[in-house]
Amino acid sequence: MLSFRAIGTFGGSMRRTFAVLYTFLLCALLNTVALAQSAADPGAAEKQFARQMAREHGLDAAAVLEILHRATYRQSVIDTMQRPAEAKPWKDYRPIFVTQRRIDDGAVFFDDNRALLQRVGGQYGVPPELIAAIIGVESNYGRTPMRYRVLDALVTLAFYYPPRASYFRSELAQLLLLHSAAFPYPPEELMGSYAGAMGWPQFMPSSVAKYARDGDADGKIDLWNSLPDICASVGNYFEAFGWQTGAPVALRAQVAANARTLDPKGLDPVYPLQQLAEWGYVTDRKLDPATPATLLRLDGVDGPEFWITFRNFQVISRYNKSPLYSMAVYQLSEAIAAAARAP
């Protein structure tokens, strides 16, 4: 039996737990209300944002407001956010990015920039064809037009898109903090995607701040015109998130008739290969049975596809959390490597 003292201690612990939970829920509610009010009155939200930038980062609030007022609301940004390609099934998503044209263009891009890609790949321990594939998926090797001013996209999403307003406000804040000797571009002049991603590698402002690199050693980072900067930034991004040099990415699984049904949540490799094999999922490649992996099911043209994916697959997903994206990048990289001319 519990003593009265133990019950009292237990009750105090429960009260503290409920107090913490209450505080968390209250903060979440207040944040939701604040975002709803922001959508109803973006002008007030912009003023609050400017004051926050002054308080937390020492920027001049009036100057911040002046920059925000140069932005133009873009309804097409909101519309595109509401119909992402990643909502498609794999059979419809793959043909967007893994096409013969993109493979051929990737092979030409690889051949034209082989020395650079191999140098950067060696420096960061990342396959050069993966760097090429990222550039291919993100900007079609620099051919995709940058239709949006980054400032317009981020202001639209920060103050008129409540579902992800807090995220885009943090990216807008980072955009205003980027201007420096190494990144000497006024915020209102930067061009990018509907989500505010910049340059050939489509880095969000926070990724520019953390992972972009000066690959040509000219003292500044140019993700639009400097291939050394572009490639080095992609290589550094993957190294920073733990890319394992020479380790597998994904392997097609052979599925036994009596295979155990699995539905893993997320891409974290939590099963040893031996465990997956015992459950009926194996590959032709010989690997250490203790290698961490997980199972991915995709809706292919000919029915379900099962893939065993590894830590490197999860690293690709740090670029875009959709497993469809990671698989498209991986398959494009493999096709580019096969299509590129031998050195």
> CA 69 → CA 66, 139, 318, distances in Å?
5, 29, 32
Rounded to whole angstroms, the Cα distance separating 69 from 46 reads 9
Q: In three state form, how does the secondary structure of 242-289 look?
A: CCCCCCCCEEECEECCCCCCCCCCCCCCCEEHHHHHHCCEECCCCCCC
User: How far out from the chain centre does Cα 327 lie?
Assistant: 14
Residues annotated as catalytic are: 138
Torsion of CA 25, 26, 31, 37, to 10 degrees: 130
Helix H or strand E encompassing 295:
strand 292-300
Query: Ramachandran region of residue 186, left (φ > 0), alpha (ψ -120 to 50) or beta?
Result: beta
> Which tokens hold the place of 309?
């994916």
- Strand duo 292-300 + 271-272: pairing: antiparallel
In single-letter form, the type of residue at position 170 comes to S
d(CA 231, CA 97): 19
Radius of gyration of the chain (CA): 24
Going by C-beta distance under 8 Å and a sequence separation of 6 or more, which residues neighbour residue 137?
A: 97, 325, 328, 329, 332
Whole-angstrom distance, CA of residue 213 vs CA of residue 301: 40
Query: Quick check: 290 and 274 in contact, CB under 8 A?
Result: yes
Q: Output the furthest CA–CA distance in the chain (Å, rounded).
A: 80
Distance CA 110, CA 103 (A): 10
Helix (H, G, I), strand (E, B) or coil at 299: strand
